[in-house]
Amino acid sequence: MSKVLVAYFSTTGTTKVAATGLAKAVGADTYEIAQEVPYTNDDLDRKKD
Ligand SMILES: Cc1cc2nc3c(=O)[nH]c(=O)nc-3n(C[C@H](O)[C@H](O)[C@H](O)COP(=O)(O)O)c2cc1C
């Protein structure tokens, strides 16, 4: 087990790809932070506010 942890939050998967790539490069563990209540598509639509 590594002493380095890459914790990330990703809704689209973009940050997940970056975080897992970074973790692999430095030999770190990963931890995905997830919301307790999933976002709706409406929540994720950045054009609406
Ligand atoms: C509903 C919602 C609102 C967000 N608002 C902000 C914000 O105002 N400022 C910010 O820096 N990040 C905000 N974020 C986080 C980032 O925009 C983004 O979700 C995060 O960096 C992960 O990127 P990914 O989901 O494309 O992997 C928000 C995320 C969500 C889901």
Residue 25 is predicted with a pLDDT of: 97
Q: Taking 80 as the threshold, does the pLDDT of residue 4 lie above it? A: yes
7 CA distance to ligand 1 middle (Å): 15
8 CA distance to ligand 1 middle (Å): 11
Place of tokens 């997940």: 16
Q: Which residues are near ligand 1 (CB < 6 Å)? A: 9-16, 39, 43-44
Q: Taking 90 as the threshold, does the pLDDT of residue 1 lie above it? A: no
Per residue in 12-48, pLDDT (tens digit) is 899 999 999 999 999 999 999 999 999 999 988 888 7
Domain map (residue ranges) of the chain: 5-36
* Ligand 1 atom showing the smallest separation from residue 35 Cα: 31
9 CA distance to ligand 1 middle (Å): 8
**How much is the average pLDDT of 1-17?**
93
Task: Give CA separation, 30 vs 3, 41, 42, 44, 47, in Å.
Answer: 11, 26, 28, 24, 31
Q: What is d(CA 14, CA 33) in angstroms, rounded to the nearest whole number?
A: 14
Q: What is d(CA 6, CA 27) in angstroms, rounded to the nearest whole number?
A: 10
